[in-house]
Structure 1
Amino acid sequence: MAAAHGMTTVARVPLMVRELAGDGALGGSLPLGSAVRQCGPEDSPVFAAALAAGFEAPLEVMSLLGGAGILSLPSVTGYLAEADGEVVATGLAMRTGNSAGIYNISVPPGRRGQGYGAAITSAILETERARGARLAYLLSSEQGLSVYESLGFRTVEQWTRYTA
């Protein structure tokens, strides 16, 4: 059916989960000279621009996923990692009950492989656990799979995505 609509590229997308119980560390530490902060709707231009850079996608598209409308939702918290005066990673948590969905972990190409993706994910997990989350879940890209596995996430399902 997908091929009939010109969608012939197939990608596997792992659905991953991680328990947040206990009080031990949940992962990687921030690289020296960097910090993670929460952001709200007033930060949406910076968040969307960093998201676009990290996903190498048009700002117009990423403004929908990281705009003020999303960042102002009561169940959503945006996160920015900064180093040397620039944003080096983004992340977003969406809470439902005692679970936290982790979304939009992105790192610009020039900053990849330096630990920022793991660091911002860990900071989000710590904050969401402190807020009562007992389970975190996410959809991983192929690039992020080993990072999330190193943080204790495990794959529970493989989703299939078809694109043109």
Structure 2
Amino acid sequence: MKRINLLKAAVVIAVSMLSIVSTAMAAPTRPNDLADQTNASWLIATEQLLSALPRSVVERDGGSALLMSFQPQARMNGVFGISRQPDLDQMSKFAAQAQTYGVSSVIRVRGHGDPEVQSLAARYGMTQASQRAVSAVTQGAVKLPGTTVPGAVVKRVDGSYAQTFLDVTLAATGVPVEFARDLVSREVLNLPTASPYVVEVDGKAVAIALGIRGGDMVALYFLFERPEARGIGYNMMVTEQLLRDSFSHGVKGAFFASDPENDVLISTFGFRAVDTWTTYSKAAGL
């Protein structure tokens, strides 16, 4: 189920987490370009998110990071390449360390993965590879059409809405509660870098969105609607408000790990694919 996969990848971006077919080769090769900025900002935002969880491990070195959330989703634990060519020896050390924590984990790199990375992943039984595009938009390119839905109100909220976020997430994805509870907790929503929003109709929350700033960019997570509220425009409305507020408060760009069902969001707000993440994991059931 795509929404379940999105939630599993919410911290690893998709932003949740939310793929356009793209390749790393299609991304610009200039240093410090939008793809590089996006990956660097993703790491900062993810570190922020993990800091609010009951337990986490965060280490950086050699262009990669060891990120352990201790959540049941394997994609939220493991080794993540941040630079275009992270040091393979350091990734190998991080991968060995990840195995000591007793939770399922992954190895993720930018691009499509070379034979050396595939070999490293296979060493730990991670023989299943999947790809997800990362889309971004800058302040100068963002499109804000002024989306509204009659009777709907967008509210900027805080940690007191943790149960509301959990209820909408579970209704939208159908995942077990333990897959989402810590990710939309009071502590997460109250992060200084977090921007949580809900859409209400007649006082009932029908959609949610969470932005977490990482440096000069904001990561979009949990763009979820209740099943009965899909196709009306609530997700467009809440995403636009999140983007509008973020850019008005100094953010220079926004990004999320995109999913085919969010093509309309991408075309509406001016996002474009800037990079590809390849994730190596164990086959389902292993």
TM-score for the superposition, normalised by structure 1: 0.85
Q: How does 1:4-153 map to 2 (within 5 A)?
A: 5=125, 8=128, 11-21=130-140, 26-153=144-271
> Compared with structure 1, are the counterparts of its residues 6 and 133 closer, same or farther at alpha carbon in structure 2 (3 Å cutoff)?
closer
The separation in 1 between residues aligned to 2:249 and 2:273, in whole angstroms, is 24
The separation in 1 between residues aligned to 2:146 and 2:261, in whole angstroms, is 17
Deviation at 1:21, TM superposition (A): 3.3
The separation in 1 between residues aligned to 2:184 and 2:243, in whole angstroms, is 19
The separation in 1 between residues aligned to 2:259 and 2:169, in whole angstroms, is 15
Query: Which segments of 5 or more consecutive residues in structure 2 lack a partner in the other structure?
Result: 1-117
The separation in 2 between residues aligned to 1:56 and 1:131, in whole angstroms, is 34
The separation in 1 between residues aligned to 2:232 and 2:255, in whole angstroms, is 23
Q: Which has the higher strand share?
A: 1
> What is the aligned-residue identity percentage?
25
> Compared with structure 1, are the counterparts of its residues 6 and 12 closer, same or farther at alpha carbon in structure 2 (3 Å cutoff)?
closer
Query: Which segments of 5 or more consecutive residues in structure 1 lack a partner in the other structure?
Result: none
State which structure, 1 or 2, has the greater radius of gyration over its C-alpha atoms.
Answer: 2
Deviation at 1:28, TM superposition (A): 5.0
> Compared with structure 1, are the counterparts of its residues 105 and 28 closer, same or farther at alpha carbon in structure 2 (3 Å cutoff)?
farther
Higher relative contact order (CA 8 A, sep 6+): 1
The separation in 1 between residues aligned to 2:159 and 2:229, in whole angstroms, is 25
TM-score for the superposition, normalised by structure 2: 0.51
Letter in 2 for 1:137: F
8 Å contact kept, 1:51–1:62: yes
Q: Which runs of 4+ in 1 moved over 6 A?
A: none
The separation in 2 between residues aligned to 1:55 and 1:104, in whole angstroms, is 10
Letter in 1 for 2:131: R
Deviation at 1:50, TM superposition (A): 1.2
The size of the alignment, in residue pairs, is: 162
> Compared with structure 1, are the counterparts of its residues 135 and 33 closer, same or farther at alpha carbon in structure 2 (3 Å cutoff)?
same
Map Cα deviations across residues 9-53 of structure 1 (whole Å, 9 max, x no partner): x5432201011238x861451211101111111111111111221
Find the residue that maps to 1:144 and give its secondary structure. Answer: helix
